[in-house]
Amino acid sequence: PCMCMRVCVDELACVALLAGYGFAIGNVAAFDMEDPQAVVSPGGVGFDINCGVRLLRTNLQEEDVADKKEQLAQALFDHIPVGVGSQGIIPCKGPELEAALELGIDWSLREGYAWAEDKEHCEEFGRMLHANATKVSARAKKRGLPQMGTLGAGNHYAEIQVVEEIYDAYAARRMGLEREKQVCVMIHSGSRGLGHQVATDALVAMEAAMSRDKVKTNDRQLACARVGSPEVKTLIAP
């Protein structure tokens, strides 16, 4: 087995668990950052960094949109670039991308792409204060520039959905889903080429660190480095 797992404090699986590249998608592993043998593995984050699903509720019922389904579906295709090679709808140059990477959701708020209350539903309120955009490679930024505001390909989607059945009224109410046939919008997307390149760059650096420190894993995608290494400091520190 991999050295990573021998120093792992705990691990668990999220609701959506499926095979990934070395590290399962939906798998969570915890390491003791005070343990000098503990490691950081970019594969645990994955290639589509920040990939996730968001459900946006509306005040509409199915009957309100029943005769507009085709128009709504067409509107999604008209306004949201999808597929491999799709170009973004957010005009973005180098400085804007730098600001987006540095400010997180605060950039989205400033540019009118988010509401203030969205911050309450994001990890770290949508911005990791120790983030340092200068650590992101020029190639990663180049790949990300034309993709701002795109959905991507694969299993990414934007759908208009309806609540068919409520199994747990309390949990549903906490999420603002209080009635069946309520119309919602579900989005599944990630960081596309930018995130993929960040992961690729990190894995290359980790492989070099493994060779230097004689660390072995049973899968290249689990490449890692010890917490005190310069590679990890570059990856997770300001």
| Of 199, 197, 160, residue with least CA distance to 181 | 160
196 is in an annotated binding site: no
List, in order, residues 6 or more apart from 93 with CB less than 8 Å away: 145
159 is in an annotated binding site: yes
* Whether 192 contacts 48, CB under 8 Å: yes
48 is in an annotated binding site: yes
Distance CA(40)–CA(212), nearest Å, equals: 16
**Range 115-118, long-range pairs (CB < 8 A, 24+ positions):** none
Distance CA(190)–CA(49), nearest Å, equals: 6
User: Residue 209: what residue type?
Assistant: A
Distance CA(175)–CA(168), nearest Å, equals: 11
- What does R_g of the chain's alpha carbons equal in angstroms? 20
* Whether 46 contacts 233, CB under 8 Å: no
120 is in an annotated binding site: no
156 is in an annotated binding site: yes
* Whether 22 contacts 16, CB under 8 Å: no
List, in order, residues 6 or more apart from 21 with CB less than 8 Å away: 43, 46, 47, 221
178 is in an annotated binding site: no
188 is in an annotated binding site: yes
Please report, in range form, the residues annotated as the binding site for Mn(2+).
48, 156, 188
Q: Which residues line the annotated binding site? A: 48, 155-159, 188
Query: Could you tell me which residues are annotated as the binding site for GMP?
Result: 155-159
